[in-house]
Structure 1
């Protein structure tokens, strides 16, 4: 990489003739106070690497810093006017390579700084294989960083401090390179409590767009009768209630399953402006005339309630998933005091509660839900993960699972953590859509708020959506209660 025609020179260069390198991957040098004090007391122990950069307006030679930006700032702070430098003639690509390799070896770069460094070299003609070889990284590592480098400046500007985003956040933003609006909205939320919620919704929306495209292709290819409606849940004259497909599997699979179980092929496919999908089958003729106005009023109330319940189910699934994911990823960080505080709050829920009567234990189905929740939040599934009636496994509180739970709790240093996880799982088992809409038995918004207090002791911060749900924005309205 060195220019063979000119050997490196070590000279003292006036500080005023040294200029920072705009292509330096490392954008900030941090606090140089201690380094400046060391240089003032002992002198500069390692010279800077610079390359000729033309002349200033007075004809004096200028030198661009390649390695040593932090030392340069410390020398200035220490009052040095002449700074020892090694002078080398370098191409733009050589400069960038040296700076990137130097900074990656020192682990000085943030993920986005490193990503931009790779991209700069790609722009100068380097290949991914070359970059991997020179920096000692894998090609997959380099590709991952380059994908991050593609996040546009307009999106970066939306974050309060983009340079401090974690690698996982940057990877998540890069997922939405084909959707600038969503990417920008996520960047705004990256440093807030709503980040995980917004990301989950964005991923669901992206997945649903793919699901809808496949559904449209299937509907067209099979010549199914489809119409647009304003509201998926509003009944249509001559048709029964809407059947909503399970979006965890393709529309085609749900429709064909419906037909296999006796569904009417004459059912009409319904879609909405906001891309809701369903179908309604022809209703049997009615013998008596109905009060049309009253019927329509009741239909509207029923449709509104079905829509509300669908939103509650969607919220419950998302909040359950995000809470459990948070517990699983943070449980190893909890301190003993945090866990003791949480257990005290959870014990209150289990023993005293908030209602007229003392709390009861979990029924058989809730115990199954508890084991499922424990498997999700612990990250280490118990032996019997699923019910299997064919093998005589009707519930999950099996001797094998109980013995394994006790074995884990008996491990030195693990009893407190395992007890915390089990008590959290017990509460997770109780939270259902009915909890959030105010119709649940045993577990309601009051008890759930106390559960969230236990999570707060462990460091969890609820998103705006969770705060609103705890405040009752998903509960049934008076009109719905009168049905």
Structure 2
């Protein structure tokens, strides 16, 4: 403010002073304590205002003005400044940055407002005492549209790193909203990484397609068959993924394999050979045998999953009430943390509000021994009683049991990754897995480790 400050102070009636409509800080907060201080000690620092017709607008001192009005102060000392629109906004941004904590988004919108009024990035950076990159990052954040900001009530509290990542996908509101919802959770980096990978895959397939349609490619490019595994003319012979290599390396690999034709399928290149009737019959028999084996494995897994779930819940039913309260409190916290990192941002709170319809009601009834329709009434009572911990554990274990599907025992998905942690919590309570459960747990942990290893190797290749 020093570049604009006036040496002349004028006493102005508070009824004639208005907040500035372009004030970067949208929420001035509670001024009760400040008003009490002003009543006792008076206003120690004059306001800075600009004329607005017969009235005035605050440039510096919005909280002080609000506190004075709250305290019933009739007139306040003011510096009356003569500033143009850009100078007014620049002064308010500088004042807020020096005196009052703006959110990143408030600062970003204010900086964009200064640029809209004719300031340059270099001017703004110099005035704020910041780097050019600092200003440019906030300009990116300011570009985020209102519909994306409305995704969550606390959008203005997101960090500059999160805002810049969201702004990167300008014109793609679905992606921006997905990132905004995940910001502040462990899923944010995961979702961002997947979006970046999707973009790399799309760029890869577009480059490969451009090389394939080149006049000198020498490769037979055909439309993707509607029925890839039963087309009357073409037999599927493999595919090329982005991990195959660069687009140029992929083309060379296709030439080495010399398929009869290739087609573009999503982010993959399918390879085709001409169909042979005898080979087709053999292939059909092989596929039928493989499907029968998969069906048998699925049936066995379903039987195991059902037996395992029954055993766990029977143990919970028979043992929870005998566990010490401090252990249950600890277990509640650990189960809660396991739920908090759930992809559903509402966690088990959603389960409580829809308990009679879904989200674990049946499992809760098995563990607690009460009917699902009585669950909410029982919980409202018991969660306020000394035995709240045992009921909290029943809620959380029922929620996890509801989530676990037979297929989650074989793949490294969001639920499968929670099963080992869930078992560790149960074992800490005294639960003893069967040999069958231990074997399946070992297989699941191995699958998770393999998936993580593959992902790390792919990330390293992409970063090279």
Q: Give the shorter-chain TM-score range.
A: 0.5 to 0.7
CA distance in 1, matches of 2:138, 2:280: 68
Alignment of structure 1 residues 88-127 onto 2, 5 Å: 88-106=81-99, 108-127=101-120
Which residue of structure 1 aligns with residue 257 of structure 2? 263
Contact kept? 1:159, 1:188, Cα under 8 Å = yes
- Aligned CA distance change for structure 1 residues 446 and 94 (closer, same or farther; 3 Å): closer
Cα deviation for residue 86 of structure 1 reads 1.0
CA distance in 1, matches of 2:121, 2:417: 54
Which residue of structure 2 aligns with residue 246 of structure 1? 242
Contact kept? 1:267, 1:279, Cα under 8 Å = no
**C-alpha RMSD over aligned residues:** 4.2
CA distance in 2, matches of 1:139, 1:194: 31
- Aligned CA distance change for structure 1 residues 185 and 300 (closer, same or farther; 3 Å): farther
Which residue of structure 1 aligns with residue 145 of structure 2? 152
The TM-score with structure 2 as length reference comes to 0.58
CA distance in 1, matches of 2:175, 2:411: 35
CA distance in 2, matches of 1:189, 1:287: 53
- Aligned CA distance change for structure 1 residues 2 and 440 (closer, same or farther; 3 Å): closer
Which residue of structure 1 aligns with residue 40 of structure 2? 41
Q: Could you say what secondary structure the match of 1:26 adopts? A: coil
CA distance in 2, matches of 1:289, 1:212: 30
Q: Could you say what secondary structure the match of 1:226 adopts? A: coil
- Aligned CA distance change for structure 1 residues 452 and 62 (closer, same or farther; 3 Å): farther
Contact kept? 1:232, 1:242, Cα under 8 Å = no
Contact kept? 1:232, 1:277, Cα under 8 Å = no
Question: Which digits, 9 at most, give the CA deviation of each residue in 1:187-208, with x for residues without a partner?
Answer: 3443666544433332222222
Contact kept? 2:242, 2:267, Cα under 8 Å = no
CA distance in 2, matches of 1:146, 1:291: 62
- Aligned CA distance change for structure 1 residues 76 and 447 (closer, same or farther; 3 Å): closer
Which residue of structure 2 aligns with residue 234 of structure 1? 229
Which residue of structure 2 aligns with residue 290 of structure 1? 281
CA distance in 2, matches of 1:289, 1:111: 63
- Aligned CA distance change for structure 1 residues 103 and 440 (closer, same or farther; 3 Å): closer
Q: Could you say what secondary structure the match of 2:257 adopts? A: coil
CA distance in 1, matches of 2:35, 2:26: 19
2:177 is equivalent to residue 207 of structure 1 = no
Cα deviation for residue 20 of structure 1 reads 0.7
CA distance in 2, matches of 1:290, 1:114: 68
Q: Could you say what secondary structure the match of 1:27 adopts? A: coil
Cα deviation for residue 94 of structure 1 reads 0.8
Alignment of structure 1 residues 51-200 onto 2, 5 Å: 51-54=50-53, 61-106=54-99, 108-190=101-183, 194-200=187-193
Question: Which digits, 9 at most, give the CA deviation of each residue in 1:274-294, with x for residues without a partner?
Answer: x231222426846578389x6
Larger relative contact order (C-alpha < 8 A, sep ≥ 6)? 1
Contact kept? 1:18, 1:63, Cα under 8 Å = yes
CA distance in 1, matches of 2:262, 2:418: 39
Q: Could you say what secondary structure the match of 1:225 adopts? A: coil
Which residue of structure 2 aligns with residue 414 of structure 1? none
Alignment of structure 1 residues 240-389 onto 2, 5 Å: 240-247=236-243, 249-259=245-255, 262-264=256-258, 266-272=259-265, 275-282=266-273, 285=276, 287=278, 290=281, 298=288
Which residue of structure 2 aligns with residue 451 of structure 1? 421
Question: Which digits, 9 at most, give the CA deviation of each residue in 1:192-241, with x for residues without a partner?
Answer: 66544433332222222222322221222236333343679636554343
CA distance in 1, matches of 2:224, 2:238: 12
Greater Cα offset, 223-232 or 151-160: 223-232
Which residue of structure 2 aligns with residue 220 of structure 1? 213
Cα deviation for residue 143 of structure 1 reads 1.0
Cα deviation for residue 297 of structure 1 reads 7.2
Question: Which digits, 9 at most, give the CA deviation of each residue in 1:383-411, with x for residues without a partner?
Answer: xxxxxxxxxxxxxxxxxxxxxxxxxxxxx
Cα deviation for residue 92 of structure 1 reads 0.6
Which residue of structure 1 aligns with residue 312 of structure 2? none
Contact kept? 2:241, 2:267, Cα under 8 Å = no
Contact kept? 1:49, 1:66, Cα under 8 Å = yes
Which residue of structure 1 aligns with residue 27 of structure 2? 28
Greater Cα offset, 278-287 or 29-38: 278-287
Q: Could you say what secondary structure the match of 2:10 adopts? A: strand
Q: Could you say what secondary structure the match of 1:227 adopts? A: coil
